Amino acid sequence: MERRNFIKQGTVFTASFFIAKGLMAKNDNPIYGHNGMRYRMDNTWGKLDPQNHPVNDCHEMVQDSKGRIILLTNETKNNILIYDTSGKLLDFWGHDFPGGHGLTLNNENGTEFLYITDTVKHQVYKTTMDGRILMTINVPLETGVYKKAEEFIPTETTIDTNGDIFIADGYGAQYITHYDKDGKLLNFWGGRGDGDEHFDNAHGIVIDRRQSEPSLLITDRTRNCFKRFSLDGKLKEIIKLPGACVCRPVIKDKHLYAAVLMSPDLQHPGTGFTTILDKHNKVVSNIGGTEPVYKDGVLQPMSQAEKIFVHPHDVCVDRDENLYVAQWASGKVYPYKFTRV
């Protein structure tokens, strides 16, 4: 089932959504997680006055060099909300991204830029930190696999050190397109298909530099896995995450973090959690999910254990290893903060 078909179901589910009891801290904020990766939840951290600063779907978050937490929502009254780590609103901007979905921050020679994907406008934008659009990437008709803009529904970007741009077409034809820093198409590969080298839901993408050779980690959400590719598109590894419809991979130091939209598949609204993998890509902790169990080296199916989320969509990890979780189709809730304990 396509994600846009869940909105009505998700709204109904949210009406009955509740915070399950967890291990309570002295300030009555529950603690979740496993194996030393445990966090105290604050579900009021990002809450603002919805009349002045509304959100719709809270899609993705990043932290900039100033320590600010930047949220992208597809609410065009304010597509970007900028917080400090205490949850205070510092700034806001953006009215032109009705399908604001993917948010990537890149530092180019000391200057930071944002890359925003828009699933409604079928475009990818490079912007300044205050929202001035510097470059727009449209449907790559030159590939020959796209006939019209509507077939290109980009969900995520990642940027190499030389400025090369990789785009995941996670809601469209499922291709990965590779551009130079100026937006010239260099390569494309993947596409929808049943083979391991193909995708069904290439929702997220990141360059993984935890190994000696950089590679691309790409989500195949409906297939409960991340797939590792070389930068020129050769399949290297499949990281299976049974029971977890993962969103984009987020790397901080040696760990890999991801929001799990639903479990075990996209036919079960309201069953999300977040997952954390170590440097060996072994799941070590789930927030709101079952404790990870391996039998004979094989990860057993994971699922939601505590109903603290509806549909988590992204995880941002700050300098102090605290987490911020944004949610899709979850009653227009603001991001939650999870403080490492």
Q: Rounded to two decimals, what is the model's pTM?
A: 0.92
For residue range 74-103, what is the model confidence (pLDDT) as tens digits? 999 999 999 999 999 999 999 999 999 999
What whole-number distance in Å separates Cα of residue 150 and Cα of residue 173? Answer: 10
Judged against a pLDDT cut of 70, whether residue 311 lies above it is answered with yes
Question: Strand 30-34 and strand 37-42: pairing?
Answer: antiparallel
Q: Cβ neighbours of residue 258 under 8 Å, at least 6 residues apart?
A: 204, 219, 226, 244, 246, 247, 248, 249, 250, 274, 275, 277, 315
- Alpha-carbon distance values, 261 to 66, 188, 245 (Å): 29, 27, 6
Judged against a pLDDT cut of 90, whether residue 257 lies above it is answered with yes
Tokens 């978050």 appear where? 61
Q: Is 15 helix (H, G, I), strand (E, B) or coil?
A: helix
What whole-number distance in Å separates Cα of residue 175 and Cα of residue 309? Answer: 30
Of the chain, the percentage scoring pLDDT greater than 90 comes to: 91
Question: Measured at the alpha carbon of residue 271, what is the angle toward residues 203 and 197, in degrees to the nearest 5?
Answer: 30
For residue range 104-136, what is the model confidence (pLDDT) as tens digits? 999 999 999 999 999 999 999 999 999 999 999
One-letter amino acid identity for 282? K
For residue range 133-148, what is the model confidence (pLDDT) as tens digits? 999 999 999 999 999 9
pLDDT at site 24: 37
Judged against a pLDDT cut of 80, whether residue 254 lies above it is answered with yes
Q: Cβ neighbours of residue 122 under 8 Å, at least 6 residues apart?
A: 138, 139, 149, 150, 152, 153, 154, 172
pLDDT at site 23: 36
What whole-number distance in Å separates Cα of residue 21 and Cα of residue 41? Answer: 12
When pLDDT is averaged across residues 47-73 and rounded to a whole number, the result is: 98
pLDDT at site 25: 37
pLDDT band at 53 (very low <50, low <70, confident <90, very high): very high
pLDDT at site 223: 98
pLDDT at site 20: 38
For residue range 174-231, what is the model confidence (pLDDT) as tens digits? 999 999 999 999 999 999 999 999 999 999 999 999 999 999 999 999 999 999 999 9
What whole-number distance in Å separates Cα of residue 94 and Cα of residue 84? Answer: 18
212 DSSP 8-state letter: S
The secondary structure element, H or E, covering residue 126 is strand 123-127
pLDDT band at 28 (very low <50, low <70, confident <90, very high): confident
pLDDT at site 210: 96
One-letter amino acid identity for 103? L
What is the average pLDDT score of the chain? Answer: 93
What whole-number distance in Å separates Cα of residue 99 and Cα of residue 149? Answer: 14
Judged against a pLDDT cut of 60, whether residue 17 lies above it is answered with no
199 DSSP 8-state letter: B
Nearest to 247 by CA among 173, 171, 312: 312
